[in-house]
Amino acid sequence: MPDKVSEYKKGKKGLIGLFVGEVKKRSGGKADPKLVTQLLEQKLNQS
C-alpha cells in the first residue's frame, strides 16, 4: 500500500477512504471512522 500513500501525498485525497476501510477491516469493524480519518490525515500530512 506504500504506492497508495504516495498517490495520496500527490493529491489523490479520495484515497483516505481506502485507508479508513483497511483499518476498519483489520479492527473487525470496531474502529471509529471519524477518528481513524483524523489520525490518518495527521500522520500522512506529517511525513
User: For position 45, what pLDDT does the model report?
Assistant: 87
For position 20, what pLDDT does the model report?
A: 96
* Torsion sign (Cα): 31, 33, 38, 42: positive
- pLDDT, residue 46, reads 86
Question: DSSP assignment, residue 45?
Answer: H
Contacts of 1 (CB under 8 A, 6+ apart): 19, 22
Place of cell 489520525: 39
User: Whole-angstrom Cα distance, residue 16 to residue 33?
Assistant: 11
**Phi/psi at 31 (5° precision):** -75, 140
Tens digits of per-residue pLDDT, 1-47? 889 999 999 999 999 999 999 999 999 999 999 999 999 999 998 86
According to the model, what pLDDT value does residue 5 have?
A: 92
